[in-house]
């Protein structure tokens, strides 16, 4: 892990991502089903997960489980960003023919 990623996840020793999965989620105050991303993480302090729920294009919130339980939103957001897998593939481009 790089130094900036380790600094973003202060309080955990040797954090590493175990997987990222997308699943449907329901919130009490909403009548529709939303999609969420669950990032599972292991460290020397134990395992946990950070769930990212995007309620709209401008609004998102995080939920911590396991070692992340009780963490504030800003700390969960920085840990999620530091540990989420990065997509390093080239963007899809269509060729213009003719």
Tell me: the pLDDT tens digits for 56-71?
Answer: 788 889 999 999 999 9
Residue 95 placed within a domain? no
Report how many domains make up the chain: 1
- Whether residue 94 lies inside any domain: the answer is no
pTM attached to this predicted model? 0.76
| 8, pLDDT greater than 50 | yes
- Mean of the pLDDT values across residues 77-83? 92
> In which band, very low, low, confident or very high, does the pLDDT at 2 lie, cut at 50, 70 and 90?
very low
Asked if residue 31 belongs to a domain, the reply is yes
Cα pseudo-dihedral 38, 42, 46, 48, rounded to 10: 0
Q: Is residue 91 one of the residues assigned to a domain?
A: no
Rounded Cα–Cα distance for residues 41 and 35 (Å): 20
Domain that holds residue 46: 3-83
Question: Considering the domain boundaries, does residue 32 fall inside one?
Answer: yes
7: in domain: yes
Q: What is the pLDDT of residues 10-24, one digit of tens each?
A: 778 899 999 999 989
Task: Name the 3-class secondary structure at 17.
Answer: strand
Let me know if residue 16 belongs to a domain. Answer: yes
């Amino acid at each position: 892990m790089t130094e900036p990623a380790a600094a973003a996840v202060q309080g955990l020793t040797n954090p590493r991502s175990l997987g990222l999965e997308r699943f449907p989620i329901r919130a009490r105050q909403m009548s529709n089903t939303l999609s969420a991303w669950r990032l599972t993480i292991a460290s020397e302090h134990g395992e946990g997960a950070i769930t990212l729920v995007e309620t709209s294009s401008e609004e998102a919130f995080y939920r911590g489980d396991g070692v992340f339980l009780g963490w504030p939103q800003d700390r969960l957001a920085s840990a999620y960003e530091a540990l989420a897998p990065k997509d390093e593939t080239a963007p899809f481009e269509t060729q213009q023919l003719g």
